Structure 1
Amino acid sequence: MSRMLRASAIMAAGTMVSRLTGFVRTAMLAAAIGTFALGDAYNAAYMIPYILLDLLLQGVLSSVIVPVIVRAQRRDPDGGQAFEQRLMTLAVIVLTAVALVGVLLARPIMDLYTASNWTEHKVEVAATLARYMLPQIAFFGIGSLAGAILNTRDRFAAPMWAPVLNNIVVMGVLAAYYAVASSDIDKVSDRDLALLGLGTTGGIVAQAVVLIIALHRAGFRFRPRLGLRGSGLGEAARAAVWTFAYTGITQIGFWVTTKLATGAGARAPGAGNSAWAYAFQLFQLPYGIIAVSVITAMLPRMSRHVADGELDSVRTEFASAVRLVSSVIVPAGLLLMVLGPSVTTLIFSWGRMTTTDAIYIGHVLQVFGVALVPFSIFQLLLRVFYSFGDTRTPAIMAGVNVAINATLSLVAYFTLPDRYVIIGLAFSYLITYVVLCVVAWVLAGRKVGGLGGREVTAGLGRMYAAAIPAAALALAVLWLAREITSITAVSSAVVLAVGGGAGLLLYMVAAHRLRVPEVRSIIGLVASRVGR
């Protein structure tokens, strides 16, 4: 527990700065391009590199590459160096080729992911932006692999801090765009699109360079190696087949959501794909700060325990991770459910955005807040399967994901009023992950021989007992503010400072009194750092 907490604290610090600068970046993006036609086109194009990267590498990194590298480091006489070099060589070749093909096929790709009710000009703007952004696949993929190799060497800082540079670069680009370019899709020029697209890619290039330098300092020396026979990559390839299936099936669900969100935005401007994308990014903030940090520290250790046949240690590692993550995610989810519109009004009601647009994003964020706990626990459960090298079970669960989420999303799209479609899509996401969490828990428990369900449930009960009064206090502050004044960025800042701050303080006091050890550990860690 203490080792995981220390490793997670290092990563959480970097991730917090990364996510906070990402906060500013997202706010500046909305202020520069809004949530109407240009905003929807940008966000549709922006997601394509991440979709393709997820299909080709990102899912494989966490599920296959990290455990395989750990085994190679233990098995090979050279500590896995030749294996890592072959892996990096293969990544450079494949990802560069995919990026080039993506650029050539940008227009048909955007036709696939955008709604049929988009105009020809709007699709072409999105395709132009995609051509500038698709080279990110190579840089993001290579940087991610460098980060994975660093993680296997217990070097966690650089992968968590590198995105900060990415955000700073893009923030500079967005400031320039706001000053010289237009947010009207009918008036935007080729120069404007080049600034926006290439500037976004420039941030990813800077991030990759930082990770490559950090990997070099960690002792990795890149030497192109093409000989694959006997390299151990066949083992990774066999395991990756199911991971490709998992990510492919998951992206079918994402495709449905994007298609419906872009269609909703055409029917109700401001309540479409941009609103979904911005709310989803904010939803990922607490998960990214604590859960990703814990997962990154947990997976290599769980893989080592599985390799050594120590299932008791696997159970202990997982239970500690769930409790540690939940000690932050539980109050964060409840506070987002209450204060979502206040958060988005403070962040998004600037520049070319209106308060009404910002509040709408906040309502979507409220639903995502409820989904935060099941989503985070499900991601932890996936790492149990991955530590065993089991990629088949997650692929099967991905099919369940798509079946539920796509069905509920289609129902929402065709039955709800236009302005409520995106909120309905968020509810579909929530229900899907509640079901997936239950299914994954049962299956993972069978594999490990139990996951300490009683202990985890008791811990979650104490956390909710401490968090519900905190959320109620925040709600009371919000109600009082609404009675006194109208909703503005200033009043929202006051509500967040008073209601959110007092709510978090009440949660920490209540959790301490209810003997939630994870909160005590976090408080002790912070106190010791401040004392130093």
Structure 2
Amino acid sequence: MAVGTVVSRATGLIRQVLQAAALGTGLLASTYNTANTVPTSLYTLLIGGALNAVLVPQLVRARATQPDGGRAYEQRLVTLVVCVLAAGTALAVWAAPQIVGVYMRDTPDGHQAFELTVTFARFLLPQIFFYGLFGIYGQVLNAREKFGAMMWTPVLNNVVLVAMFAAYLGLMTVPGQVADVTADEVRLLGIGTTAGIAVQALALIPFARAAGFRFRPRFDWRGTGLGGSVHAAKWTLLFVLANQVALAVVTNYANAADQELPEAGAGYSAYTYAQTIWMLPQSIVTVSLVTALLPRMSRAVAEGRIPDLRADLSRGLRISGAVIVPAAFLFVALGPQIASLLFAHGAADAASVRPLGYMLQAFGLGLIPFSAQYLLLRGFYAFEDTRTPFFMAAWTAGVNIALATACHLLLPPRWAVVGMAGAYTLSCLAGLTLTAYLLRRKLGGRLDEGGVRRTYVKLLCAAGPAAALGWAAARTCTALGSGTWQTAAALTAGALTTVLGYLVLARLMKVAELRRLPGTR
């Protein structure tokens, strides 16, 4: 799973670099990125949150307890999901202007950017259906403990998008501002982006068939156990809604910064690119662990083996932390160099990607609580408790909104979104604090907190000094020049120094979790 995720994220990074070269990091890029955020957000609101958090335990229980191994339940569930997605997608395309208005203000000065975003959204909103199809087939496979296909098929989407942006750069005149975008460019970007998601989704169908799932539409939903799934999904929907409200507020504020400074690279696109890079370690390590652990934890709860659940959560925290903690410090130390090397090409230059590097630094340490909370929440989902995570999400989103609003009102546009990245870090810490407290009460005992705490203290003591050495090494190389090769040399020197320093210090501190990672002893 981790290998598939690494390849997926690597091709996704190539796609994002090409995208920045084609569209830059300013207002023009934000019209496309905002429109591309809308279908993901609506899919998550419609059914994505329930698919990811609720339905695996439900499917595992159905396969274990029903005489037919849960086949009829699966078919009814897939039929229900497909119907909801089809209706929701059609409604979203019809209401595109109103939906975009939630994420971007239609001001007299920014009206042209708003209209372009709406046009992009009409092409991109059909992704909702294909995201859902990918999600439900992926969960059917996960319930059968077939994890590989869901990790590898996103590579197909990235290949399509890499080809699309390469064609865009090779065949089109790269526009300098919103007014320069042509109808042909909009069609290429819109159709190509949606086609990538469609390929990703449809590629899962043969794998599901090979795993024994045959889709037969079934509309006999009453009295078949779907009520429990719908009831559980109610709280998950509210959980997702809280997160999406925070996302909408931050997106709106960040787009306002872009409208104030359309070519500064200090708004939503820079925030999106920085957050995507920042989430790479969590996507590779924590998500892979959680995907494998959730069915196992669900079975432990179903069989009353609560100590096994506590052990799995503790082990997951310690193993993921061995990668997440140094990665967080690496972003703090080398954020500007990472941003410059990846994005200062084509339509973006070194000056316009500098705010992106600062945002990456501001996100940095937030990776630790973000990853830990993501894992701990699965402890509640193993109990099929979706009510408690909603209140935690509301708390985290409230902190994020309050801090982001303060940044929007008090900081100048060039620094407001950097402040919002820091606000997100603080909200993750607030969320983790509450999550850990409530989960301990739920489990009726400690989550091996002494062992987890000792491990993280060692990891912090190893990663912090190593990152400081890496920063110094990169700073020394940067003094030699500011070109692409000099930046690459500085980043390489800084990263190698950080990694080697971390490994040496972690081994001196006897961090046992390093031996649990691939390629280590």
Shorter-chain TM band:
over 0.9
Distance in 1, matches of 2:51 and 2:201, equals 16
Bigger Cα displacement from structure 2, 174-183 vs 284-293:
174-183
- Residue 148 in 1 paired to residue 144 in 2? no
Bigger Cα displacement from structure 2, 110-119 vs 32-41:
110-119
RMSD over aligned CA atoms reads 1.3
- Residue 478 in 1 paired to residue 468 in 2? no
- Equivalent of residue 103 in structure 1, options 93, 96, 119: 93
Distance in 2, matches of 1:492 and 1:81, equals 55
- Residue 199 in 1 paired to residue 192 in 2? yes
**Partner of residue 75, structure 2:** 85
**Partner of residue 219, structure 1:** 212
- Equivalent of residue 40 in structure 1, options 30, 40, 57: 30
Which residues of 2 match residues 490-505 of structure 1 at below 5 A?
Answer: 490-505=485-500
Distance in 2, matches of 1:233 and 1:489, equals 56
Partner deviation per Cα, 1:472-509 (whole Å, 9 max, x = no partner): 221111121122222x3222211222220232123223
Distance in 2, matches of 1:450 and 1:504, equals 32
Partner deviation per Cα, 1:357-388 (whole Å, 9 max, x = no partner): 22210110011111100111111111111111
Distance in 1, matches of 2:17 and 2:382, equals 37
Does the Cα contact within 8 Å between 1:374 and 1:433 map onto a contact in 2? Answer: yes
- Residue 163 in 1 paired to residue 154 in 2? yes
Using the TM superposition, give the Cα deviation of residue 22 of structure 1 relative to its aligned residue in structure 2, in angstroms.
0.9
Give the secondary-structure state (helix, strand or coil) at the position aligned to 2:446.
Answer: coil
Give the secondary-structure state (helix, strand or coil) at the position aligned to 2:180.
Answer: coil
**Partner of residue 104, structure 2:** 114
Partner deviation per Cα, 1:123-162 (whole Å, 9 max, x = no partner): 1110111111111011111111111111111111111111
Using the TM superposition, give the Cα deviation of residue 229 of structure 1 relative to its aligned residue in structure 2, in angstroms.
2.1
**Partner of residue 61, structure 1:** 51
Does the Cα contact within 8 Å between 1:342 and 1:359 map onto a contact in 2? Answer: no
Instruction: Report the AA paired with residue 357 of structure 1.
Output: S
- Residue 526 in 1 paired to residue 519 in 2? yes
Distance in 1, matches of 2:286 and 2:520, equals 21
Does the Cα contact within 8 Å between 2:26 and 2:258 map onto a contact in 1? Answer: yes
Does the Cα contact within 8 Å between 2:106 and 2:114 map onto a contact in 1? Answer: no
**Partner of residue 304, structure 1:** 299
**Partner of residue 418, structure 1:** 413
Distance in 2, matches of 1:466 and 1:250, equals 33
**Partner of residue 175, structure 1:** 166
Does the Cα contact within 8 Å between 2:478 and 2:490 map onto a contact in 1? Answer: no
**Partner of residue 3, structure 1:** none
Does the Cα contact within 8 Å between 2:110 and 2:259 map onto a contact in 1? Answer: no
Bigger Cα displacement from structure 2, 500-509 vs 168-177:
500-509
Describe the shift of the 1:428–1:527 C-alpha distance in structure 2 as closer, same or farther (beyond 3 A). closer
Distance in 1, matches of 2:465 and 2:249, equals 38
Using the TM superposition, give the Cα deviation of residue 316 of structure 1 relative to its aligned residue in structure 2, in angstroms.
0.1
Does the Cα contact within 8 Å between 1:181 and 1:188 map onto a contact in 2? Answer: no
Instruction: Report the AA paired with residue 457 of structure 1.
Output: R
Does the Cα contact within 8 Å between 2:27 and 2:255 map onto a contact in 1? Answer: no
Using the TM superposition, give the Cα deviation of residue 527 of structure 1 relative to its aligned residue in structure 2, in angstroms.
5.8
Which residues of 2 match residues 351-366 of structure 1 at below 5 A?
Answer: 351-366=346-361
Give the secondary-structure state (helix, strand or coil) at the position aligned to 1:231.
Answer: coil
- Residue 258 in 1 paired to residue 248 in 2? no
**Partner of residue 463, structure 2:** 467
Does the Cα contact within 8 Å between 1:181 and 1:192 map onto a contact in 2? Answer: no
Distance in 1, matches of 2:401 and 2:465, equals 35
Distance in 1, matches of 2:469 and 2:60, equals 47
Does the Cα contact within 8 Å between 2:362 and 2:419 map onto a contact in 1? Answer: no
**Normalising by structure 2, what TM-score?**
0.97
Distance in 2, matches of 1:394 and 1:387, equals 12
Distance in 2, matches of 1:453 and 1:58, equals 32
**Partner of residue 337, structure 2:** 342
Write out the 4+ residue segments of structure 1 that deviate beyond 3 Å after TM superposition.
none
**Partner of residue 123, structure 2:** 132
Distance in 2, matches of 1:527 and 1:422, equals 39
Distance in 1, matches of 2:484 and 2:377, equals 39
- Equivalent of residue 320 in structure 2, options 325, 334, 342: 325
Give the secondary-structure state (helix, strand or coil) at the position aligned to 1:186.
Answer: helix
- Equivalent of residue 189 in structure 1, options 182, 204, 214: 182
Distance in 1, matches of 2:185 and 2:386, equals 43
Does the Cα contact within 8 Å between 1:512 and 1:520 map onto a contact in 2? Answer: no
Instruction: Report the AA paired with residue 192 of structure 1.
Output: E
Give the secondary-structure state (helix, strand or coil) at the position aligned to 1:526.
Answer: coil
Instruction: Report the AA paired with residue 21 of structure 2.
Output: A
Unaligned regions of 5+ residues in structure 2, if any?
Answer: none
**Partner of residue 16, structure 2:** 26
Bigger Cα displacement from structure 2, 57-66 vs 289-298:
57-66
Instruction: Report the AA paired with residue 399 of structure 1.
Output: A
Does the Cα contact within 8 Å between 1:243 and 1:392 map onto a contact in 2? Answer: yes
- The number of residue pairs the alignment matches comes to 515
Distance in 2, matches of 1:188 and 1:116, equals 18
Identity %: 40
Distance in 1, matches of 2:475 and 2:173, equals 39
Distance in 2, matches of 1:526 and 1:115, equals 49
**Partner of residue 369, structure 1:** 364
- Equivalent of residue 284 in structure 1, options 270, 279, 286: 279
Distance in 2, matches of 1:56 and 1:111, equals 19
Distance in 2, matches of 1:191 and 1:13, equals 37
Bigger Cα displacement from structure 2, 342-351 vs 267-276:
267-276
Does the Cα contact within 8 Å between 2:319 and 2:516 map onto a contact in 1? Answer: no
Distance in 2, matches of 1:464 and 1:290, equals 18
Using the TM superposition, give the Cα deviation of residue 401 of structure 1 relative to its aligned residue in structure 2, in angstroms.
1.7
Distance in 2, matches of 1:300 and 1:351, equals 45
Bigger Cα displacement from structure 2, 116-125 vs 265-274:
116-125
Describe the shift of the 1:181–1:141 C-alpha distance in structure 2 as closer, same or farther (beyond 3 A). farther
Distance in 1, matches of 2:513 and 2:219, equals 47
Using the TM superposition, give the Cα deviation of residue 182 of structure 1 relative to its aligned residue in structure 2, in angstroms.
3.5
- Residue 455 in 1 paired to residue 478 in 2? no
Using the TM superposition, give the Cα deviation of residue 105 of structure 1 relative to its aligned residue in structure 2, in angstroms.
1.0
Bigger Cα displacement from structure 2, 115-124 vs 58-67:
115-124
Does the Cα contact within 8 Å between 1:170 and 1:199 map onto a contact in 2? Answer: yes
Unaligned regions of 5+ residues in structure 1, if any?
Answer: 1-10
Does the Cα contact within 8 Å between 1:306 and 1:388 map onto a contact in 2? Answer: yes
Does the Cα contact within 8 Å between 1:62 and 1:386 map onto a contact in 2? Answer: no
Instruction: Report the AA paired with residue 38 of structure 1.
Output: L
Instruction: Report the AA paired with residue 483 of structure 1.
Output: A
